[in-house]
Every structure is written in structure tokens, then in C-alpha cells.
Structure 1
Amino acid sequence: MFGMGFTEILVIAIIAILFLGPDKLPDAMVQIAKFFRNTKNTINTMKSTIEEEMHVKSIKDEALAYKKELLDASNQVKSATDIKQMAAKLTTLEDDTFGDIFDTPKTESIPDNKPKEVTLPKKKSTKTKEKLEEDNKNV
């Protein structure tokens, strides 16, 4: 106990008996035992408190990490849905980015969707005018 052997404890007991006397020695032993018991209980309480604080600290660290992740995710969603911010980004882009697309005239001709007039060559008829007139009358 406390790095002392049996002989050191025996020497301290003999000195206590001589110094305190046989009348006060039992009360002194009881008080010394109470002191050691209270010290041991205090040390155990401190250990458990420190362990609880360490556990609480780790939980707090985890909660702060989750909070940071949630804030980052909400900021990303907010920035993706913020139309004003997107418009500001588009206006700050260099003119060269969209200049080629919007400013250059197109050299290809656009096909005309208007209907075209189609003419077919006339067939030569072997029938005479008289036969045609007769056919028209029969109809």
C-alpha cells in the first residue's frame, strides 16, 4: 500500500502508539481509515465523471460532425436552387463563352417549307378529238 512494505507500516504504528498514547490511538485509527475511504471514493467519483465526460465529449463531437455535414448539404441545395445566384454567375462569365454561339451568323441555308409547284409532262393522246367528245358524252 502506497509503495510501503510491512516493516515501514510497523515502524509508523509504533511511533503513533508512542506519540498518541493508548487512549487516543483507536480514535486516530478510525479517522485515518475514514480519510482513506473518503479519498478512495473521491478518486473513484472523479474517474467515473471523467469517463462520462469523455463519452459525452465523443457524442458531442459526433453531433457536431453531423451538424456540419447537414449544413454543407443544405448550403449546396440552397446554392443549386438560388436563381439569383445562378443569374449572377451567368452574367460574370466571359463573353467568349457564349459569343461564338450567339454572335456568329449561320452560313447554312435554312430549308424553305413552302410547297413547290410540280408540273408533269403531258401525255400524247392517240385518240382523236371526236373520240374524246364521245367519251365525255358517255360519262
Structure 2
Amino acid sequence: MFGMGLGEIFIIVVIAILFLGPDKLPSTMVDIAKFFRSVKSTVNSARATIEEEMRFSEMKQDALNYKKELTDASSELERLTNVTEIGSELNAVKSELDFNAIPAAPAAPKEPEVVTFTPKSKEIKPKEESL
């Protein structure tokens, strides 16, 4: 207890009996126990408050991360739906393509191609009988 050995505690008890006397010693021990209980409850309360603050800080960090993701997504959506930028890109594509030039039709073949098929004769073979 508090890094004290049995001999040290015994010496403290003997000194307390000598100074306080047998009349005040029991009430003093009760007061000391109440003091230690209040200190313990204060420490537990402080620990609970610190743990709650740590949870709040984690939730705050998560909320900031979500906010950043939403901001990035909205800026990306705005960039993709920006009409003036799309119009300028279309104008650039139009300038690359020449709509006035009509592509030349493929040249017609000089002589039509004639395809003929020669039928193959079907030979019917007799079935072999199996034993």
C-alpha cells in the first residue's frame, strides 16, 4: 500500500495511537477512509471525463474526414458539370474536325465481282453392318 511495508504501517499506527489516543482514533480512521473514497471517486470521474473527451475527439476527426471527402466530391462534380468548360472543350473538338469537308465515297469497283459455286456431289455410302 503506497509502497510501504508492514513494519512501516505498524510504526504509523503506533504513532497515531500515541498522538490521537484511543478515543479519537476510530473517528479519525473513518474520516481517512472517507477521504480516500472521495479521492478515488474524483480520480474515476476525471478518468471518465478524459475517456469521453477522447471519444469526442475521435468523432470530431471522423467528421472532419467525412467533410473533406464531401468537399472533394462536390468540387469534382462541379468540375464535371461545368457548362462553360464543356463548351470550350466542344469548341476545341469542333476546331480540330473540319465539318465542311465531306469524306469521299469509296470508289466503285471497275467490274462487278462474280461469285460462282460449284455443287459437290454427294456420295452415299452403304452402311456397314456390325456384328
| Higher Rg | 1
Cα distance change of structure 1 residues 87 and 15 upon mapping to structure 2, 3 Å threshold = same
In structure 2, how many angstroms separate the alpha carbons of the residues matched to 1:50 and 1:38? 18
Given the alignment, which residue of 93, 96, 102 partners 1:101?
96
In structure 2, how many angstroms separate the alpha carbons of the residues matched to 1:63 and 1:111? 61
Which of the two has greater helix per residue? 1
In structure 2, how many angstroms separate the alpha carbons of the residues matched to 1:111 and 1:79? 39
1:45-81 CA-to-partner distances (Å, cap 9, x unmatched) read: 2222222222222122112111110111011111221
Larger RCO (alpha carbons 8 Å, 6+ apart): 2
In structure 2, how many angstroms separate the alpha carbons of the residues matched to 1:41 and 1:70? 43
Residue segments in structure 2 that go unaligned for 5+ positions in a row: 106-131
Cα distance change of structure 1 residues 59 and 110 upon mapping to structure 2, 3 Å threshold = closer
2:9 matches 1:9: yes
1:10-51 CA-to-partner distances (Å, cap 9, x unmatched) read: 111111111112222111111110011111111112222222
Over the aligned positions, Cα root-mean-square deviation in angstroms equals 3.0
Q: Number of matched residues? A: 101
Q: Which residue of 1 aligns with 2:80?
A: 80
In structure 2, how many angstroms separate the alpha carbons of the residues matched to 1:60 and 1:9? 49
1:64-106 CA-to-partner distances (Å, cap 9, x unmatched) read: 111110111011111221224x279x49xxxxx88x837x9x9
Report the AA paired with residue 37 of structure 2: R
What is the TM-score of this pair, normalised by structure 1?
A: 0.59
Q: Which residue of 2 aligns with 1:32?
A: 32
Runs of 4+ in 1 over 2 A off after TM superposition: 108-112
- Secondary structure of 2:3's counterpart equals coil
Measured after TM superposition, the shift of residue 109 of structure 1 is 8.2
